[in-house]
Chains A and B, each alone.
Chain A
Amino acid sequence: MSGWKIINGEAAGLPTENVDTDQLIPARFMSTPRSEGYGRYLLHDVRQDSPDHVLNRTSPKVLVTRRNFGSGSSREAAVYALVDFGIRAVFAPSFGDIFSGNAVNNGLLPARLPEDVVEDLLAELGTGTADAHVDLMAGTARIAGRDIEFDLNPVWRKKLSNGWDDIDLTSQHSNAISTFRADRMARFGWANPTT
Chain B
Amino acid sequence: MSPSQTLLEKLWKAHTVLQRDDGTALLWVDRHLVHEGSHHAFAKLAARNQKVSEPGLTFAVVDHYAPTRAGTLDPDISRMIRTLGDNARAHGIQLFDLKDPEQGIVHVIGPELGLTLPGVQVNCGDSHTSTHGAFGALAFGVGATEVAHILATQTVWQTRPRTMRITVEGTLGEGVTAKDMALHWIAKLGADGARGHAIEYAGSAVRNLSMQGRMTLCNLSIEGGARLGLVAPDEVTFAYLEGRRYAPKGDNWTRAVEDWAQLNSDPDAAFDREEHLDAKDIAPTVTWGTSPEEALPITGKVPDPNQYDASKRAAMRASLEYMDLTPETPLTSIPVDQIFIGSCTNGRIEDLRMAAKVLAGRRVRVPGLVSPGSARIKRQAEEEGLARIFTEAGLEWVAAGCSMCVGMNGDRVDAGKRCASSTNRNFKGRQGRGSRTHLMSPAMAAAAAVTGHLTDVRPLLEGRL
B-side contacts of A2, CB under 8 Å: none
> A22: CB under 8 A from chain B?
yes
For the complex, what is the distance from the CA of A188 to the CA of B118, rounded to whole Å? 12
Candidate in B127, B227, B425 with the most chain A CB atoms within 10 angstroms: B127
Q: Number of A residues contacting the other chain (C-beta, 8 Å)?
A: 59
On whether the beta carbons of B24 and A17 are closer than 8 Å, the reply is no
Q: How far is the CB of B263 from chain A (nearest CB, A)?
A: 12
On whether the beta carbons of A74 and B127 are closer than 8 Å, the reply is yes
> B96: CB under 8 A from chain A?
no
> B57: CB under 8 A from chain A?
yes
A-side contacts of B293, CB under 8 Å: 18
On whether the beta carbons of A166 and B145 are closer than 8 Å, the reply is yes
Stretch at the interface among A51-59, A64-72, A125-133, A144-152: A64-72
Stretch at the interface among B147-155, B167-175, B332-340, B445-453: B147-155
> B360: CB under 8 A from chain A?
no
On whether the beta carbons of B429 and A23 are closer than 8 Å, the reply is yes
> A186: CB under 8 A from chain B?
no
Kindly supply a per-residue 1/0 record for chain B positions 106-149, scoring 1 wherever the CB is within 8 Å of any chain A CB and 0 otherwise.
00000000010101100001110100000000000111111011
On whether the beta carbons of B26 and A181 are closer than 8 Å, the reply is no
A-side contacts of B157, CB under 8 Å: 166, 170
Within 8 A of B (CB), among A95-134: 95-98, 101-102, 105-106, 115
Within 8 A of B (CB), among A177-194: 177, 180-181, 184, 188-191, 193-194
> A26: CB under 8 A from chain B?
yes
Kindly supply a per-residue 1/0 record for chain B positions 384-406, scoring 1 wherever the CB is within 8 Å of any chain A CB and 0 otherwise.
00000000000000000000001
A-side contacts of B256, CB under 8 Å: 190
For the complex, what is the distance from the CA of A66 to the CA of B80, rounded to whole Å? 34
Select B37's contact among A26, A45, A75, A153, beta carbons within 8 Å: A75
> B463: CB under 8 A from chain A?
no
Q: How far is the CB of B380 from chain A (nearest CB, A)?
A: 21
Within 8 A of B (CB), among A133-180: 153-155, 158, 166-167, 170-171, 173-174, 176-177, 180
For the complex, what is the distance from the CA of A188 to the CA of B245, rounded to whole Å? 18
Q: How far is the CB of B309 from chain A (nearest CB, A)?
A: 12
On whether the beta carbons of A193 and B31 are closer than 8 Å, the reply is yes
On whether the beta carbons of B429 and A45 are closer than 8 Å, the reply is yes
Select B145's contact among A16, A106, A177, beta carbons within 8 Å: A106
Q: Which residue of A lies closest to B126 (CB)?
A: A74
On whether the beta carbons of A193 and B246 are closer than 8 Å, the reply is yes
> A6: CB under 8 A from chain B?
no
For the complex, what is the distance from the CA of A177 to the CA of B25, rounded to whole Å? 12
For the complex, what is the distance from the CA of A189 to the CA of B80, rounded to whole Å? 35
Select A16's contact among B57, B120, B249, B315, beta carbons within 8 Å: B315
For the complex, what is the distance from the CA of A31 to the CA of B37, rounded to whole Å? 8
On whether the beta carbons of A73 and B76 are closer than 8 Å, the reply is no
On whether the beta carbons of A22 and B28 are closer than 8 Å, the reply is no
Q: How large is the interface on B (under 10, 10 to 19, 20 to 34, 35 or more residues)?
A: 35 or more
On whether the beta carbons of A177 and B143 are closer than 8 Å, the reply is no
On whether the beta carbons of A176 and B117 are closer than 8 Å, the reply is no
On whether the beta carbons of B119 and A105 are closer than 8 Å, the reply is no
On whether the beta carbons of B252 and A177 are closer than 8 Å, the reply is no
Q: How far is the CB of B350 from chain A (nearest CB, A)?
A: 25
For the complex, what is the distance from the CA of A9 to the CA of B143, rounded to whole Å? 28
A-side contacts of B30, CB under 8 Å: 191
On whether the beta carbons of B48 and A189 are closer than 8 Å, the reply is no
Q: Which residue of A lies closest to B424 (CB)?
A: A72
Select A173's contact among B17, B76, B252, beta carbons within 8 Å: B17
Select B28's contact among A30, A153, A177, beta carbons within 8 Å: A177
B-side contacts of A191, CB under 8 Å: 30, 117, 119-120
> B428: CB under 8 A from chain A?
yes
Select A184's contact among B18, B28, B76, B318, beta carbons within 8 Å: B28
B-side contacts of A194, CB under 8 Å: 246, 248-249
Stretch at the interface among B188-196, B273-281, B367-375: B188-196
Q: Which residue of A lies closest to B157 (CB)?
A: A166
On whether the beta carbons of B23 and A155 are closer than 8 Å, the reply is yes
On whether the beta carbons of B425 and A102 are closer than 8 Å, the reply is no
On whether the beta carbons of B127 and A177 are closer than 8 Å, the reply is no
Kindly supply a per-residue 1/0 record for chain B positions 408-431, scoring 1 wherever the CB is within 8 Å of any chain A CB and 0 otherwise.
100000000000000001011110
On whether the beta carbons of B28 and A193 are closer than 8 Å, the reply is no
On whether the beta carbons of A18 and B291 are closer than 8 Å, the reply is yes
On whether the beta carbons of B191 and A97 are closer than 8 Å, the reply is no
> B297: CB under 8 A from chain A?
no
Select A72's contact among B127, B154, B253, beta carbons within 8 Å: B127
Within 8 A of A (CB), among B251-274: 252-253, 255-256, 259
A-side contacts of B142, CB under 8 Å: 74, 98, 101
Known: A20-B427, A66-B315, A177-B26. 4 other contacts (CB 8 A): A27-B430, A73-B126, A155-B22, A194-B246
**What are 19 sample pairs from A and B whose C-beta atoms fall under 8 A apart?**
A15-B314, A18-B290, A22-B428, A26-B433, A27-B430, A71-B192, A73-B126, A73-B127, A76-B145, A97-B195, A98-B127, A98-B227, A115-B311, A153-B159, A167-B48, A189-B255, A190-B117, A190-B252, A190-B259
The 6 A-B residue pairs whose C-beta atoms are closest, nearest first, are: A190-B256, A102-B143, A190-B248, A105-B145, A76-B143, A76-B144
Q: Spell out B's residues near A (CB within 8 Å).
A: 17-18, 20, 22-24, 26, 28, 30-31, 37, 39-40, 43, 48, 50, 56-57, 65, 76-77, 79-80, 115, 117, 119-120, 125-127, 129, 141-146, 148-149, 152-155, 157, 159, 161, 190-192, 195-196, 222, 225, 227, 245-246, 248-249, 252-253, 255-256, 259, 290-291, 293, 311, 314-315, 318, 406-408, 425, 427-430, 433-434
Q: Spell out A's residues near B (CB within 8 Å).
A: 15-18, 20, 22-23, 26-28, 30-31, 33-34, 45-46, 66-68, 71-77, 79, 94-98, 101-102, 105-106, 115, 153-155, 158, 166-167, 170-171, 173-174, 176-177, 180-181, 184, 188-191, 193-195
